[in-house]
Amino acid sequence: MPSLAAHVTALQPNLIREITEAAWARAASGQRTLILSIGEPAFEVPAHIRQAGIDCLLRDETDYTPNGGLPALQEAFAARLARDQGVDADSGRIVVTAGAQQGLHLAMTLLLAPGDEILIPNPGYPTFGMTAELLGAVPVGYPLRAEHGFQPQTADLAALITPRTRVLLLNSPSNPLGAVLSAELTRGLVELAREHDLWVISDECYEAFSFDLPHVSPVQFDSDGRVLVCWTASKTYSMTGLRIGAVLTPPGVGKPVSMAVESTFSCVSTPAQYAALAALTGPQDSVVTARSHYRANRDAAEALLRARGLRFLDAQGAFYLWVEVSHVSAGDVQAWVHGFLASDGVALAPGTAFGSQGEGWVRIALCGDTAELLEGVARVPAP
């Protein structure tokens, strides 16, 4: 039979999925397993959100929506942007997608041609690079180093820009780091992109969970329409399986954006869109509760790590802890996490799942049960 396209077979496996699937298999065999490797919120989807999707099905509103999504949902995303970031944007620029991942794919589809380069964080979420490669583009990692608090340095970025560079991708609050970009740094990064005439894609999946610094979107500093923003309802409202996200697209490009959507997914599930509309416009108590839980888990886990002498990056947002295990991982953290799962029953995401700068580090998800989190953290070998 014919072979698959080379750009598909060349993709590297997602090491987060690899360790998590191993943990699921271990748990299915009846062994007690603490799964701290995946960012799955521990809360139920609020009842009013579920009911909105059910009501849509019951009234049989199951036809196509416009390519960009339900107008009311586009307006709800635009209203949230105005409320939280002080930015007024035409709701027609917002495209509803099947989760933030499809939003990232759409954003890169609009901006990248084969051979173009996109600057992505290293460590950074693995699908940043995978998505670019699927489009025939070239992901170029910009280093986030421990000595700089894993914050991007404009000099490092500037040194990587070539005539083929088209896009700078930012992620704050960060997955996997829990780092949050300051307003000053964010402004400087947008200015760098403007200086070199780059697009900016801002992944803001964890915008609702910033603890010690306010979440400041790059779109606040966008004077010429170069910033695209990707959002999701998955993390904020525990709606990971309903697959709803959105992208703020550039102004004045509605027709090509609509054509790109039509040729890839046409539109998103109508019941899921109504559920997301209820989420954005209804009570926000669940978000407050979730933020409080994640912050309390962070504080408890960090206190335990500190008491045991383990080095970590203080998580200012999202719901992950970035912890150093180089004293036991012997230069191969991927192999170490699998050995740790086998010996101690704890699944952690290896830092190299997020790039070469993650060697010697692991990501611990803070979004689950507090007792299980602390039990897992307590089993990580101390120096």
Strands, sheet with 361-365, edge to edge from the N-terminal-most edge strand? 312-313, 320-324, 361-365, 349-350
- Reported pTM: 0.96
Q: What is the DSSP string of 6-30?
A: HHHHTPPP-HHHHHHHHHHHHHHTT
Domains and CATH numbers, the chain: 6-44+285-379 (3.90.1150.10), 47-281 (3.40.640.10)
> Would you tell me how many other CB atoms lie within 10 Å of the CB of residue 251?
12
| Nearest-angstrom CA–CA distance, 257 and 309 | 51
346 neighbors 38 (Cβ within 8 angstroms): no
Spatial CB neighbours of 367, under 8 Å, sequence gap ≥ 6:
39, 40, 41, 42, 293, 294, 297, 319
Q: Are 38 and 20 in contact (CB under 8 A)?
A: yes
State the number of CA atoms in the 13 A half-sphere of 228 facing the CB. 28
**Can you read off the two tokens belonging to residue 66?**
């416009």
Give the model's pLDDT for residue 12. 87
The C-alpha atoms of residue 300 and residue 380 are separated, in whole angstroms, by 15
Q: Where are the alpha helices (DSSP H) in 236-332?
A: 254-262, 270-281, 285-307, 326-329
Other Cβ atoms within 10 Å of 141 Cβ, number: 18
Token digits of residue 64: 């196509």
Interatomic CA distance for residues 217 and 215, integer angstroms: 6
Taking the CA atoms of the chain, what radius of gyration do you get in angstroms?
A: 21
139: β partners: 118
Q: Which residue, 306, 307, 324, 308, is CA-closest to 363?
A: 324
- Contact between 317 and 7 under an 8 Å Cβ cutoff? The reply is no
SS3 297: helix
Tell me the longest C-alpha to C-alpha distance in the chain.
Answer: 60
- pLDDT (tens place) for every residue of the chain, 383 residues total: 999 988 888 888 889 999 999 999 999 999 999 999 999 898 999 999 999 999 999 999 999 999 999 999 999 999 999 999 999 999 999 999 999 999 999 999 999 999 999 999 999 999 999 999 999 999 999 999 999 999 999 999 999 999 999 999 999 999 999 999 999 999 999 999 999 999 999 999 999 999 989 999 999 999 999 999 999 999 999 999 999 999 999 999 999 999 999 999 999 999 999 999 999 999 999 999 999 999 999 999 999 999 999 999 999 999 999 999 999 999 999 999 999 999 999 999 999 999 999 999 999 999 999 999 999 999 999 99
Residue 42 has what pLDDT?
85
